[in-house]
Amino acid sequence: MTKTPKIVYTKIDEAPALASYSLLPIIKAFTKTSGINIETKDISLPARIIANFPDNLKADQKIPDNLAELGALTQQPEANIIKLPNISASIPQLEAAIKELQEKGYDIPNYPEEANTDTEKELQKRFAKVLGSAVNPVLREGNSDRRSAASVKQYAKNNPHRMGAWTSDSKSHVAYMQGGDFYGSEKSICLDNATNVTIEFADEAGQTKVLKEKTALLKGEVIDASVMNVKALRKFYAEQIEDAKAKDILLSLHLKATMMKVSDPVMFGHAVEVFYRDVFEKHAALIKELGVNVNNGLGDLYAKIQNLPADKKAEIEADIKVVYEKQADLAMVDSDKGITNLHVPNSVIIDASMPVVIRDSGKMWNPAGKLQDTKALIPDRAYATIYQEVIEDCKKHGAFNPATLGCVPNVGLMAQKAEEYGSHDKTFIAPANGTIKIVDEAGNCLLDQKVETGDIYRACQAKDAPIKDWVKLAVNRARATGAPAIFWLDENRAHDAQIIKKVKVYLPEFNKEGLDIRILTPVEAMRVSLERIRNGEDTISVTGNVLRDFLTDLFPIIELGTSAKMLSIVPLMCGGGLFETGAGGSAPKHVQQFLAEGHLRWDSLGEYLALGVSLEHLANAYKNEKAALFANTLDHAVSKFLENKKSPSRKVKELDNRGSHFYLAMYWAQALAAQNIDAELQATFANVAKEMEAKETTIIQELNDAQGEPVNIGGYYLPNEELAAKAMRPSATLNAIIDAI
């Protein structure tokens, strides 16, 4: 490899973006002495909007399509990308970001919620590129290896976080459909030969309409099709709403409307309509006229009644109140502000929300601001059952004790838009009763699904090479750790049955002698993994893309208190490395707190760990000894950081994100000063360490003094660079030391 060693550090959104204003200058200052180039690429939500709508922008407003550039980079062996979590925008978030850009003088068109004309359809198509989970699928050109670093796991055992107690009489449970869902209807095949397919809808009269012109499929690719029957879905919601009322527990809905950006908002919308049925029926004509989109939540109704005459608005608000009096209480997202689980589709995201329910004794917040048992609606059976298994385990054995738990790392099939998370361009709402077919070039129907008007149809792909790579990664991890590896696959699910066949073909190609490798259904795999972690034993979960996402929040939240502390490595199939920071998101609640009181509780541990493995990867790829030294000393610094408990606190006027960066920097400088492999670095950083030690009290004082007041960073989605940097670097003493390196 001849090019200059380079690490690309992504610029993103919300809390981790704020943290970067403080952390990046430190990383750049430290590594610049080594000839490693740290380049930033802006792939934040506003940057992606700007890149996709340059038409009316001034030259100095334009931002190149960094995401496409990074996507191309993943195909090069020298790729070394540190990817921080970004916003996966729901429509309300997208609209808010557009509004902010427009207010700042960016001539960006509005998002057309309803596309009737060709222009509107074209606009919607262009916006689809920035909607939902639009970054990760482009960069994830490899499978995922998520686990906790040994030092982080040990820290969690020594300092167990609080886990809410569980009792056997908890009324909390997961409710899922018994039929008519994706799980029940799924059909799947593996292709003998490459082909191009068309997805077509045929109505009952035999009239056909092309839904998707062309999808290229490779030899050995698994393709499946399934349907969510909306009649069955709405019946399920109605029954469960009644049942929650009868059991006197909260009602909550857990979906992934961000990542599953086409199917899940529709499932969310049906829940809103069924729950607030009396309002939607009584005011049907007006609601239609106002253009309320239920898929955006009750928040959209509230937004659109704002300009109605006062009495009409009051009437609708009163009718909403009557619904609350009559129905089961909804789980709240913000009980102070009266924001419920059904307000917007992006505030209850299943991978993060269900583990928190489990951490909090099976409870969620009720309208009175108290924790209460909940019914968790997860309509589709494909993955709902694993959460019920955890709940049953907790009811039987009580809360998990992080001091003694083993771990459940994950090897996830993710590359090349595998499975449901790559299905958006093949997801359709059935226009009428009929059949949706996948037809090959020769006109053969490969898969057909009967649909009724409004049903959600979904086709998914999983390519052969990534599947084989995933099996290999699982065997490698089992070999490296000695832990059993369990493939979570359900032979009663059509798609999984195909994957099981492939796993059985590929496993013998790798040396699995002496390894314990099993295939169990997700429920059995959960049972075994939970029994083992309670015994302090480790078990590798080897899963598809959705369970990868779900389990890498669930187990870290149980084991470590948060998924932010995970190592999240993506060995790219072309030889490069993508290093994601943590497994969690962009923590909007943290930004709210920062803006209100100047305290940022975001923990950048995930970033430190990602930087460590990124430097290690670079050291190996370029035989770069300085990079190896930086990686090694950073590792020491992280251990000391944990030992000395320098993570940010949650409370204002205590150490926050910025102070935690100072300590990381000081420990890193000390470790570089203590080594004797590179005399030049030793000398440089001995001085840095000495200065930091001498000025520790002043620096911490300056950082704490900056807290306690509201902060203005000149925007939410597109903050003002200077204001944000100033807010995140308030210690002149620390800045002087860093800038002088």
Ligand X SMILES: O=C(O)CCC(=O)C(=O)O
With 0-12 CB in 10 A as exposed, 13-18 as middle and 19+ as buried, what is 345?
Answer: buried
Q: Phi-psi bin for 218: left (phi > 0), alpha (psi -120 to 50), beta?
A: beta
Give yes or no for residue 538 binding Mg ion (CB under 5 A).
Answer: no
Which of the residues 317 through 376 are near Mg ion (CB under 5 A)? 351
Q: Phi-psi bin for 459: left (phi > 0), alpha (psi -120 to 50), beta?
A: beta
What is the dihedral sign for C-alpha 658, 660, 664, 670?
Answer: positive
Give per-residue burial for 259-296: e unless 16+ CB within 10 Å, then b.
bbbbbbbbbbbbbbbbbbbebbeebeeebeebebbbbb
85 is in an annotated binding site: yes
User: In the numeric block, which tokens belong to residue 333?
Assistant: 């997202």
The Cα–Cα gap between 250 and 328 comes to 6
* DSSP type of residue 596: H
135 is in an annotated binding site: yes
Give yes or no for residue 416 binding ligand NDP (CB under 6 A).
Answer: no
Q: Write the binding mask 243 to 272 for ligand X: x where contact by CB under 6 A, - elsewhere.
A: ---------------xx-------------
Give yes or no for residue 412 binding ligand NDP (CB under 6 A).
Answer: no
556 is in an annotated binding site: no
The Cα–Cα gap between 251 and 565 comes to 30
Q: Residue 694 CB, nearest distance to Mg ion (Å)?
A: 42
522 or 585: whose CB is closer to ligand NDP?
585
563 or 731: whose CB is closer to Mg ion?
563
252 or 552: whose CB is closer to ligand X?
552
Task: Say if residues 151 and 346 touch (Cβ distance below 8 Å).
Answer: no
Which member of 236, 276, 365, 602 binds ligand NDP (CB under 6 A)?
602
571 is in an annotated binding site: no
87 is in an annotated binding site: yes
Residue 21's closest CA among 580, 652, 568, 591?
591
Residue 701 burial (CB count, 10 A): 13
Give yes or no for residue 656 binding ligand NDP (CB under 6 A).
Answer: no
Output the CA–CA distances (angstroms, integers) from residue 617 to 41, 81, 114, 150, 610, in the order listed: 20, 10, 47, 18, 10
Q: What is the DSSP string of 623-670?
A: T-HHHHHHHHHHHHHHHHHHHTT-SPPSSTTS--HHHHHHHHHHHHHH
Give yes or no for residue 587 binding ligand NDP (CB under 6 A).
Answer: yes
Give yes or no for residue 85 binding ligand NDP (CB under 6 A).
Answer: yes
Give yes or no for residue 389 binding Mg ion (CB under 5 A).
Answer: no
Task: Say if residues 531 and 400 touch (Cβ distance below 8 Å).
Answer: no
Give yes or no for residue 580 binding Mg ion (CB under 5 A).
Answer: no
Give yes or no for residue 549 binding ligand X (CB under 6 A).
Answer: yes
Give yes or no for residue 552 binding ligand X (CB under 6 A).
Answer: yes
Which of the residues 340 through 359 are near ligand X (CB under 6 A)? 351
The Cα–Cα gap between 446 and 189 comes to 8
134 is in an annotated binding site: yes
Specify the DSSP element, H or E, that contains 195. strand 195-203
Give yes or no for residue 585 binding ligand NDP (CB under 6 A).
Answer: yes
Which member of 186, 549, 580, 607 binds Mg ion (CB under 5 A)?
549
Which of the residues 502 through 561 are near ligand NDP (CB under 6 A)? none
Which member of 20, 22, 88, 366 binds ligand X (CB under 6 A)?
88
Which member of 131, 478, 564, 665 binds ligand NDP (CB under 6 A)?
564
Span from 174-182, 276-284, 418-426, 579-587 in contact with ligand NDP (CB under 6 A)? 579-587
549 is in an annotated binding site: yes
CB closest to ligand X, residue no: 88
Contact positions vs Mg ion (CB under 5 A): 351, 549, 553
Residues that bind ligand NDP (CB under 6 A): 85-88, 136, 258, 346, 349, 352, 562, 564, 582, 584-589, 601-603, 606
